Structure 1
Amino acid sequence: MTRPVHTVTLDRVGGQEPPLGPAAGWSRRGQWWLAAVAGAFVLAQLVAVGPGMGLGWDESVYVSQVSSHAPASFFSAPRARGISLLVAPVAGWSSSTPLLRVYLALLAGLGLFLALRAWRGLFPVRVLALGGALFASLWVTVFYGPQAMPNYWVAVGALAGVGCFLQAQTDRTRRGPVWGLAASALLMAWMRPTDAVWVSLPLLFALVVLRRWRHGRLLIALAGGLVAGAAEWVIEAYARFGGLGRRLSEGSDIQGGLGWHVAIGDQLRSLGGRSLCRPCTGAMPNPAVTAWWFTLPVLAAIGLAVAVRRRRTPPTALPLACAVTAAIPYLFLIGYAAPRFLLPTYALLAIPVADALVRLVTAPGRAWRPVTVTLVAMGLAGHLAVQYAVLAHTVQRTTAAHEGWERTAAALRRVGVRPPCLLTGPSTLPIAFYAGCSSASTGGPNANADAATITQAAQRMPVAVLTTGAARPPSYARGWRLVRLDGAVYAYIAPTARQDRGA
């Protein structure tokens, strides 16, 4: 006896016309289009960013947790260990940054392909391909794709998760999308637990509050994925920080105190290529640099209007709702900005925006169509040019900063500060990683030592306090040997037994 197949389309759960369905408009050619977008994204990372860009401040923290090159850096309360585990297959046995960059670029391309594929049948292939291209062409996406940072992975997890959620609601007999949602939620929570919760709020609301959207297995999958992904972070909260509430409170303090902060202007300033805008002062970037940011909500609104008119609202409205909740903490609850914070929002907006653009250039009305196509093409070309101009400037400046850290580390080795060793002072955390040393800080968000701990360490290993030319050393280091390292960077080096022997 043949078992009947029960299909629940989104017209039942959302009161709308059903979407295209898993097979409609989908073929092997469609997968090749998505693969081409992902492949172009990988190539852009390797060419425009390049494998040779050294590790940044936050990257050195994450990589040091699994690397044999240097001791593990201090791991502050807001961080999660997902990205450290992601890089472990390479960083665990090799100190090669180019190899790590290539590995992460390939993974980023694969992640984008799988996230777009989760939307198959919900939108035409051309919309999915354009949405992927729009997200993958942003300078911030290309810049952070090959980096050991968690935000890109929250973004692809969010995009894949919402697609799987909609697929599971379309046909409740399919188990694949349910497992896909669980895996996506796990990935997001594994990387950044708090971001995962913000992204998932509309999904949880729909599953719990809206009767027509209730789906027991889907709710278990979403909640289970979030819990499984955040489990290590929660366990560590009790093991290291005295409990979950204490860790959240300490994380809030490190981030300047979470509360009502309108950071929209800060985010705009960061679009000019500032990887961290804290404090976020100075002039706004050229309007050509920020124009796309103001265009996004307009196109998203057009996409929603098109979906309502077609009576296919859920596939557009749900990612837009998740994009809004993902952006709330970084636009209104934190007092500084970094462009990578909004990567999940950009990923979730990409497909509705692409749908709006496709609709604009294919809408009925032959008289205006050539004009519309020309304007959209010119807008996309200008947008791409601006994005890669900002990317080139950002990569150049970042690479120069990382090369400065490497020169300082090399100078430290020349004056006898070699592993095992300890560095302290401002900006020492990434330099310590480059030098293979431990790092210590007596204040600020990375405080993990006091003066007594540092002076005791100086009895058994080389210890150096890094300063700029104008800065005075702490009191315990005023009798130590002063050495100029690189540019305006100086080191006060403790008289250890190794140095006394002329090592």
Structure 2
Amino acid sequence: MTDLAVATLDPPRPARESRRWHVVLGLVALGYTGFQLLVTLRIGLGWDESVYVSQVARGVPPADFSAPRARGVPLIVAPVAYFTASVTAIRVYLSVLSGAGLFLAYLPWLRLRNTFAVPLAAGLFATLWTTLFYANEAMPNLYVAYGGVAATGLYFLAGRAALAGLGGAFALISLVRPTDALWLAAPLAVAALLRRAWSRAAVLATGLAIGWGAWIVEAYVAYGGPLARLSAAGSINQTGLTFSLLPHLEALDGPLLCRFGTICGSPQPAHVIWFAALPVLAAAGVWATRRTDLLMALLCGLCLAAGYLFTVGYAAPRFLLPAYALLALPAAAALARLATWRVARPLGAVAIAAALVAFVVVQAGTFRLRAEATASSRAKDEAVTSWLTARGLRMPCLVYGHHAVEIGYLIRCASRGVMTNYGGDKVPLVIEKALRAGARVVVLVNRKSMPARYLIGWNKSRIRLPDGHTWYAYQPATGTIK
């Protein structure tokens, strides 16, 4: 196997063949971006996205930024959101950025393995329904995936540029998801220390320090210190020693979050098959190629997966995206080796092609269902926003309750989202403060029954949505929306 500190590159090849796989990787990235612009461009912002983007979007009051979140995603969207809060502009920007990210993430691996396996790995990752869905979403997991793939490849390349790229990749990861950065760094740091690759160890530490430093500073400023913030984050994210494989199997075909009363159902066989096959193929790829770089990709991917399987008590399909992106590299190497194995040709190549087609069909079918359901759900936010705007709701204002964060972003109001607990007899403090400040307040509910006793005496309006559902808007007797 290659040395852990410095890569042994494949033998020199003709320039035309060298460029070929760069072009193929570029085409994969272009197709990936093109798909987003054609299919997912018009899907509105979700709750988490609205929180992240509102921190930097021009003219939008920042939504409550809870303890588990980190500032990396707002930094990523800032170049566009600072100038416009337009959802379409943000989607276009993120579509282009994600295509560039896919290309740049797998590019270092073409220096390590200048073969078809690299663009195949990018293609496998890019055709996952979860990857396609989150490709132009303002969420952290995909950028952890890009950073993880790039960092693992750059670790094995020599030179100052590779070291700088390694540090930059870890700075990105630690800014968007500090805990994921630790799980990813663990195998790389152990390898660096064992081989006494001090420069690599120092670069890893520097990259981690950037994101964790920002997180710790904010902890002192806004959350009562790092320990208090960790405690609050753990309470929100249900962290602790656990084993959540079954919830993750149930989440493979969605919905987007198996929590807060959302039942993801039983595991679907087609998804369980590819999920189980991925680590097996990845291990086979390491065994067949005897490559240390692919072994490291396997170890880093498994570590990232372990972080969610053993320390988070619920599941969401996006959590394992970084693990999939890394495991795709040795898995693609295994597929490439099988396709060219003389003993198995030509039936082996046909079988692999058939398996890949089946994989894409399963992913495409699930993507269609999830994209349609999400687009329909988020279209309700736009309909409610139009209803409220037509009835004069404008700044200063507070939207409280069901989908309040998403609607608050669209209407440019302060917001506080509520899942089920609207309060009891007493008016929530955030509403009381808004009323004292002279802001218009609306409480949104998606059920007919009154969710809290303090709303008795408030005026209740019906919001009939295009899909036939009805939401309700409560406002104090003064400043009523009619």
| Short-chain TM bin | over 0.9
Residue aligned with 2:346, SS: helix
Among 95, 100, 103, the residue aligned to 2:90? 100
The number of residue pairs the alignment matches comes to 472
Among 208, 213, 216, the residue aligned to 1:231? 213
CA distance 1:282–1:275, change in 2 (3 Å): closer
Q: Quick check: 142-151 or 424-433, which moved more? A: 424-433
Cα distance in 2 for residues equivalent to 1:114 and 1:445:
44
Q: Tell me, yes or no, if structure 1 residue 357 matches structure 2 residue 323.
A: no
- State the 1:433 CA deviation: 1.6
| Match in the other structure for 1:438 | 414
Residue aligned with 1:27, SS: helix
Among 44, 47, 57, the residue aligned to 1:67? 57
Q: Which amino acid aligns with 1:179?
A: A
Instruction: Give 1:439-458 correspondences, 5 Å limit.
Output: 439-440=415-416, 451-458=428-435
Cα distance in 2 for residues equivalent to 1:453 and 1:361:
61
Instruction: Give 1:476-491 correspondences, 5 Å limit.
Output: 476-486=454-464, 487-491=469-473
| Divergent runs of 4+, >6 A | 442-447
| Match in the other structure for 2:171 | 186
Deviation digits for residues 329-357 of structure 1 (CA, Å, limit 9, x no counterpart): 21121111111111110111111000000
- State the 1:215 CA deviation: 1.2
Contact (CA 8 Å) 1:254, 1:445: kept in 2 or not? no
| Match in the other structure for 2:143 | 153
Among 28, 33, 36, the residue aligned to 1:37? 28
- State the 1:11 CA deviation: 4.3
Q: Tell me, yes or no, if structure 1 residue 469 matches structure 2 residue 450.
A: no
| Match in the other structure for 2:404 | 428
Cα distance in 2 for residues equivalent to 1:145 and 1:22:
35
- State the 1:392 CA deviation: 1.0
| Match in the other structure for 1:200 | 185
| Match in the other structure for 1:28 | 19
Among 241, 266, 274, the residue aligned to 1:292? 274
Instruction: Give 1:85-164 correspondences, 5 Å limit.
Output: 85-164=75-154
Contact (CA 8 Å) 1:186, 1:230: kept in 2 or not? no
TM-score (norm 1): 0.88
Contact (CA 8 Å) 1:186, 1:229: kept in 2 or not? yes
| Match in the other structure for 2:323 | 345
Unaligned runs of 5+ in 1: 1-9, 169-173
TM-score (norm 2): 0.92
Deviation digits for residues 263-318 of structure 1 (CA, Å, limit 9, x no counterpart): 1111122121311111564532531233211110111121122133xxx3x11111
Q: Which amino acid aligns with 1:132?
A: A
Residue aligned with 1:463, SS: strand
CA distance 1:450–1:244, change in 2 (3 Å): farther
Cα distance in 2 for residues equivalent to 1:113 and 1:12:
26
| Match in the other structure for 2:309 | 331
Cα distance in 1 for residues equivalent to 2:4 and 2:252:
39
| Match in the other structure for 1:387 | 363
Q: Which amino acid aligns with 1:30?
A: W
Residue aligned with 2:111, SS: coil
- State the 1:411 CA deviation: 1.6
Same amino acid, percent of matched pairs: 38
Contact (CA 8 Å) 1:141, 1:343: kept in 2 or not? yes
Cα distance in 1 for residues equivalent to 2:107 and 2:246:
35
Unaligned runs of 5+ in 2: none
